[in-house]
Amino acid sequence: MIEILERALRIAGVAGLMSAWMVAGRAAARGRRRAAGRGLGLAPRFGALTSYLLIAVPYFTVWVVLWRPLPGTPTGWLRLGALVVGAALGSAGWVLYLWGHRTLGEMYNVSSSLGTELYANHQLVTAGPFRYVRHPMYAGIGLAAVGGLAVYRTWAMVFAVCSVLGLTIKARHEEQLLAAEFGPAWSEYSRLVPAWWPRPQMLRPRPVSLKEGEGHE
């Protein structure tokens, strides 16, 4: 019975990952037709998508090579508990990622630690999950990675969890651009809203006191 549940969760996880890639890829393709704005790193020279692929291709190559099971397999209630916790974290992570993506709408753009770029006439997001944390999509990826480790138990997922630390570099680059682009509005927003985890009082459904707009993730 546990084997059937595990197989179903693994298939669902692959389906969720593919759907997120498709959504992000379609948005990235649309973004290439838009006028570029302020950039950082390699993005102003080669474009945001090219800068992303320069690091994404080797990353996923390593990820595929490391797709090997971890030594030892939990049994009984420990295995069931790992599957339940992993499924909950993974689901929460992808919902958060897709919610953030939908909120960004036309302002979504791919970025990497090698380079990031805003659009011309860029706007700042404070709606949806961005009213609770400044980087909900990255927080979602982190949750999904930890959940995936519990469900798949492979070296590739260990690598994915460790790689979440690299998201802090991407976040820092994006915040530099947003601070330069929006000045006082960004300073006020970052003062009110934490970067990764919401403050308990913020979980009450109320918007931050900023004009709503769109942003970058």
Domain for residue 158, yes or no? Answer: yes
Query: Looking at residue 204, what is its pLDDT?
Result: 63
From the CA atom positions of the chain, what is the Rg in Å?
18
Domain for residue 94, yes or no? Answer: yes
Domain for residue 210, yes or no? Answer: no
Structure tokens, 26:
């379609």
Q: What is the CATH number of the domain that holds 16?
A: 1.20.120.1630
Domain for residue 217, yes or no? Answer: no
Domain for residue 154, yes or no? Answer: yes
Average pLDDT estimate for 175-194: 93
What global pTM score does this model have? 0.86
Closest-CA residue to 106 (of 45, 184, 182, 32): 32
Structural domains in the chain (count): 1
Domain for residue 185, yes or no? Answer: yes
Domain for residue 150, yes or no? Answer: yes
Domain for residue 78, yes or no? Answer: yes
**Tens-digit pLDDT profile for residues 27-84:** 777 777 888 888 888 887 887 888 888 888 899 999 999 999 999 888 888 999 999 9
Residue 25 structural domain: 2-203
